[in-house]
Amino acid sequence: MADDKLTLLEERRQSFIDAISFNEPKKVPIGAEILMWPFSSHGGTYLDVMGNPDATVSAYTAFMDEVPLDYIAMGVGVSHSVTMHKILGSKAYTISSDGTTLQHMQSQLDFISVEDYQKVIDDLYGFMSEEWIQKNYPALNVPDKAQAYASLKEAAIEYKKFVETNDRIRENVFGDRQKLNFYGPETVRYSSNLNTLFDNLRGIPNTLLDIRRRPEIVDAACQAIFASKAPLPDPKDYIGKPPLPLGSTVYHSECFLSPPLFDKYFFNDFRKLYMPYMEAGVKFFVKGEGHFLNTIDRYRSIPKGSCVFMLDEDDAFEVHKAIGDWQVIGAGITADLLRFGDVQKCKDYVSKCFDTFAPGGGFIFLQNKPLLCGGDASLDVLREVYQFADELSRK
């Protein structure tokens, strides 16, 4: 039994490596990015099982009995411990009215003010490890230390349970079910310094305004963020290794930037800092957000096959025309089609993707957006569409 499973995982791994290396694989890898949707796949909700590890693992993984998947993009499990945040007095994460979707409420974060920029520039560590936490977690900002500690301890107990439950989900998916996890401990990660401001410290609208109104201070803050990052591993350690696990980068602010600003805040650093890894054979999974066709030509200046794109809003066929001979396309079905639920239309799109992208390799099957909310797809539609894609993947 153990040997059979190893063989299946090895086959999945080899097909994935072939596909992202522009060799036609034995089977085009069929994958999905999944967030909270699985809890709704059989008519339930996350709230039904939250706090019960056995029920959580079972509800999350059940759809995989019916939907064929070779790999999982980005990881599995519940992304945030809503209860932990709640215990500490934060409303930044909440469960939506569908009982399943986990929302990140940026508006509930107490972002830095213009004046706070200087604190970030002078002492990012000190600011983030003390003032930021006290600002955003009221339970850790009370006069009585014993009371604050009691909240932290209660939150830690909850967080531990959350981590252990996610570990069990990973064990089920990547262990028992032998799905390929394309990330690992050696994964090299890149997130632009601007994204730290955009997503975490200053928020979306303020960051975009600051780029125009106070670019010098934005640049100084970006430098401070860069200086705080852990040193990268030695690229030589990656020479001669298989291209798994993939490297990782995720777009956040990038689709809001003009091409020159995209270069300044994202691509120039990506190329400069990570080119040695690409030259050593590392391939990066680029999770797109929004449109990025207008900057996709930049990826011709880095080695062939060094990136695997998960598209978002852009038309996969346009992207393929622009860069498909040089970088790998993750595409095959769209969230809109899955949600609309016309199985024949889904199958037509899937067929067109396989006919266009699969010959010659450089293609993995993946949706354009994750399965996020309860209503994102019905299990019946997903099963039919993925079974159809699975059949095509072997031809």
Partner 1 sequence: MEKTNYTIAELFEELINDESWEPDAEKRLATAKAMFLTLNRNIVPLKR
Q: Point out which residues bind partner 1 (CB under 8 A).
A: 80-81, 84, 88, 124-125, 128-137, 140-143, 145, 148-149, 152-153, 155-157, 159-160, 163, 196, 199-201, 225, 228, 230
The secondary structure of residue 79, as a DSSP letter, is S
CB of residue 308 vs partner 1: minimum separation in angstroms? 23
CA dihedral (279, 281, 282, 284) positive or negative: positive
Cα 198 from Cα 126, distance rounded (Å): 20
CB of residue 286 vs partner 1: minimum separation in angstroms? 19
Q: Which is nearer to partner 1, 59 or 124 (CB)?
A: 124
Beta-bridged to residue 287, according to DSSP, are: 250, 310
CB of residue 277 vs partner 1: minimum separation in angstroms? 21
CB of residue 107 vs partner 1: minimum separation in angstroms? 15
The secondary structure of residue 292, as a DSSP letter, is -
CB of residue 184 vs partner 1: minimum separation in angstroms? 18
- C-alpha of 391 from chain center: 27
306: nearest Cα among 284, 275, 331: 284
Burial bucket for residue 363 (CB in 10 Å: 0-12, 13-18, 19+): buried
Q: How many CA atoms lie within 13 A of 87 on its CB side?
A: 17
CB of residue 278 vs partner 1: minimum separation in angstroms? 24
CB of residue 88 vs partner 1: minimum separation in angstroms? 7
Cα 318 from Cα 333, distance rounded (Å): 15
Q: Which is nearer to partner 1, 143 or 240 (CB)?
A: 143
Q: Which is nearer to partner 1, 8 or 133 (CB)?
A: 133
Q: What are phi and psi of 54, to 5 degrees?
A: -60, -50
Cα 306 from Cα 246, distance rounded (Å): 10
- Residues recorded for the chain: 395
Q: Which is nearer to partner 1, 1 or 146 (CB)?
A: 146
Is the distance from CB of 69 to CB of 31 less than 8 angstroms? Answer: yes
Q: Which is nearer to partner 1, 193 or 306 (CB)?
A: 193
Q: Whose structure tokens read 């998960």? A: 310
CB of residue 209 vs partner 1: minimum separation in angstroms? 20
CB of residue 75 vs partner 1: minimum separation in angstroms? 14
Q: Which is nearer to partner 1, 39 or 93 (CB)?
A: 93
Q: Which is nearer to partner 1, 44 or 89 (CB)?
A: 89
Q: Which is nearer to partner 1, 140 or 373 (CB)?
A: 140
Q: What are phi and psi of 371, to 5 degrees?
A: -80, 100
Cα 285 from Cα 308, distance rounded (Å): 5
Q: How many CA atoms lie within 13 A of 217 on its CB side?
A: 19
Is the distance from CB of 63 to CB of 382 less than 8 angstroms? Answer: yes
Q: Which is nearer to partner 1, 70 or 116 (CB)?
A: 116
